[in-house]
Amino acid sequence: MVKVKRHTVGELVMRAVNVALISLFLAAIVAPFLNIIALSLNDGMDAQMGGIWLWPRDFTLDNYREVFEDPTLLNAYKITALRVVIGTVSSVFLTALAAYALKFSTLPGRKFFTMMILFTMLFSGGIVPTYILLKSLGLTNRFWVYIVPQLYAAWNILLMRTFFLGIPNSLEESAKLDGANDFQIFFAIILPISKPVISVIALFNGVSHWNDWFAGTFFVSREELHPLQTVLRAMLMSAEALRKRMFILQMAPDDARLNVTTESLKMATIIVATVPIVLIYPFIQKYFVQGVMIGSVKG
């Protein structure tokens, strides 16, 4: 007979308090997001009267239609997608090579290189020296300014090296006895069994590239090279881009004119920029936890 454990009054009260606090915290996070969705799906002119909270009052897709017909946003989406794919793949590959090399205690200058990597985690040159360096390298106002500076990250290298140190040396020794060289061992043995840490690093890089607005704002002045987050920030900080769009709409014939406003376009743009990463995150959330565990087991 299975004995059912009875909770004390204190445990039940604590559980109720925890559930209430978590529910309030969840509501504080979800409610504003639902409000933005409702406003983005509501007629812009009708939304100006207020009273819209979690559900659209006058449902319409005109706001999203205008967003996806805006060539600036479509081009920004393309730039962001390209930098996410190219930046993530190249960064993960080069980080894996660097981490694998630092794994070996026989590497000449291993301690020096490790200390220099740690130094970059503690000290930075600042925005102005970084801009001067990128300009001298000819990267400013070019697409590669999004890729090259983020090829390596000190934390990612150390995280991946920690994982490699946990791989038994017997695997590499047996491969060398069979005549395999270091590159064959790296590609045929190390990478296939390193999928967990590779997934973590790829996730970190992909989210970083997707959310980055800083590089496009400070290092790129050509609007055709601005990523999505930079365009979104400009729209939120200054309504000039939206005013231009609204002027075009006002000049359209009456039968083609849509009931959109600057605020409704803002809300639709926020959702368009946010939803992709929100939809992906639940499927890869476990890798965030796994990444923390990898870094905490060994140093």
Q: Are 199 and 163 in contact, with CB atoms under 8 Å apart?
A: no
**Which helix (H) or strand (E) element contains residue 94?**
helix 71-102
Angle between helices 195-211 and 262-297 (to 10 degrees): 150
- The whole-number pLDDT of residue 84 equals 93
Rg for the chain, CA atoms, rounded: 25
146-151: average pLDDT: 93
What 8-state DSSP symbol labels residue 42? B
57 or 283, which is more confident: 57
- The whole-number pLDDT of residue 290 equals 63
pLDDT tier for residue 178 given thresholds of 50, 70 and 90: confident
Tokens read off for 116? 């220099």
Tokens read off for 4? 């059912």
Tokens read off for 236? 């939120």
Q: Name which of 2, 19, 3 is nearest 11 in CA terms.
A: 19
Q: 61-299 sits in which CATH class?
A: mainly alpha
pLDDT tier for residue 17 given thresholds of 50, 70 and 90: very high
What span, in angstroms and rounded, lies between the C-alpha atoms of 270 and 63? 11
Q: What is the dihedral of CA 274, 280, 284, 286, to 10 degrees?
A: 60
From residue 281, give the alpha-carbon distance in Å to each of 150, 166, 206, 210.
21, 28, 11, 12
pTM of the model: 0.77
